[in-house]
Amino acid sequence: MPDVHEQTKTMRLALTNDKAAAPLDPLRPGMPALDSIHDDKTVITPTAGGPSYRIIKTTEVDTYESTPTAKALAKVLKGAKAPSKTAVAKAAKPTPAASDNFAGTARKAAKLSTATAPMENFADVSALIATLPSVDAMVKLNIPTTSTSDRVSQEKRNVHVTGFLFAASREADNDFHMIIGRDPSVPAQEMYMTMELSGLPPTNFPAFPALSAARAAFTQFFGAANLPGAGYHFYQPPVPVVIEGSLFFDATHATGQAPGPPSLKSRMPTIWEVHPVSKIKLGP
């Protein structure tokens, strides 16, 4: 019987009509929309002799995002004519951040602190998601989104989760959004959730050492030149990852558009997050 994956692979970037650097499999779990890919040429090998990962750069952004990069992408993609590769690359180029410091206000107290609680271990994101209170139940709590909004009792949990990093972006508040999912090699229902490396708190905050170390580990793995901006980077193959952090309910997006790349949001069943990530190990 013919392999449907082999039959549907393509060497064409539908967005710009350029040639892909390697075959793209639209049926692989966690793939972005083919017409969002503008570059797939960057390959990293974080550890000498270890596995390599291709960075698939896309025009997918969180629909509520308003960074200069997000606005530039929206502008260049507007209209019926296919944009040039050069124009898309220019629009997608991340705007250099002034620092790694947290630049937001919404629920700042919770995002820049960690819970005081025992560590709970989960084999994958589906096992973790199964333990979370429903979104409807959390919405009824009317959690304030002011800067002083700290964790409610349901969020006072620390978790250790094994999974795979499928995609990442950088938001205006300097948080890195990581889309973590299940093992793509195991036949099972796809499922993803957001886990965030917070922008850094002041150095005198108790959580600073852990949050800084986690962020540094992410930067070291990919290299500073390969970090994403508002446009999501997808990784081929997805990167094995082990994450520790505190639970967080994204009350800011309890109504309206939920976070996540458009191509994966249908398999992101919750707006609960691990936020902030206090420890991360990337790679096998």
Distance CA 243, CA 279 (A): 6
Look at residue 216 in the predicted model and tell me its pLDDT. 97
- Distance, in Å, from the CA atom of 2 to the CA atom of 271, rounded to the nearest integer, reads 39
User: Stretch 249-267: mean pLDDT, rounded?
Assistant: 92
Question: What is the predicted pLDDT for the residue at 86?
Answer: 87
Residue 147 token pair: 């800067």
Please work out, in degrees rounded to the nearest 5, the angle formed at the alpha carbon of residue 182 by the alpha carbons of 31 and 232: 40
The pLDDT value given to residue 263 = 96
Per DSSP (E only), the strands in the chain are: 10-13, 18-24, 37-44, 53-58, 119-122, 158-170, 176-181, 192-197, 233-249, 272-282
For residue 17, the model assigns a pLDDT of: 87
> What pLDDT does 3 receive?
62
SS3 60: coil
Q: What is the rounded distance in angstroms from the CA atom of residue 26 to the CA atom of residue 20?
A: 13
Dihedral of the CA atoms 94, 95, 96, 98 (nearest 10)? Answer: -140
Give the Cα separation of 59 and 26 in Å (integer).
16
Whether residue 199 is contained in a domain is answered as: yes
**For all residues of the chain together, what is the average pLDDT?**
93
pTM of the model: 0.95
**Which residue segment(s) compose the domain that 255 sits in?**
108-282
pLDDT range class, residue 223, cuts 50, 70, 90: very high
Q: What's 101's DSSP letter? A: B
In a domain, 3, yes or no: no
Q: Is residue 143 in some structural domain?
A: yes
Is 56 inside a domain boundary? no
In total, how many domains does the chain have? Answer: 1
Q: Are the C-beta atoms of 55 and 235 separated by less than 8 Å?
A: yes
In a domain, 67, yes or no: no
Q: Is 254 a residue whose pLDDT tops 80?
A: yes
Residue 281 has pLDDT above 60, yes or no: yes
What is residue 255's predicted lDDT score, i.e. its pLDDT? 83
Tens digit of pLDDT for each residue in 60-96?
999 888 888 888 888 888 876 778 888 888 888 877 7
Asked whether residue 183 carries a pLDDT value surpassing 90, the answer given is yes
Q: What is the mean pLDDT of residues 136-158?
A: 97
Examine residue 64 and state whether it is found in any structural domain, yes or no: no
Distances (CA, A) of 187 to 6, 29, 183: 18, 10, 9
Distances, alpha carbon 197 to alpha carbons 21, 61, 277, in Å: 30, 17, 5
Q: With respect to residue 192, please indicate whether it lies within any of the assigned structural domains.
A: yes
CA dist 32 and 27 (Å) reads 10
48 compared with 66, residue with greater pLDDT? 48
> What pLDDT sits at residue 89?
86
Q: What pLDDT score does 29 carry?
A: 93
Residue 7 lies in a domain: no
Residues 6+ apart with CB under 8 A from 226: 42, 44, 55, 233
Residue with more model confidence, 141 or 71: 141
| Tokens describing residue 120 | 């709970």
CATH number at residue 148: 2.40.50
Q: How confident is the model at residue 48 (pLDDT cuts 50, 70, 90)?
A: very high
Cis amide leading into 276 (omega within 30): yes
Query: Where is average pLDDT lowest: 11-15, 48-52, 93-97?
Result: 93-97
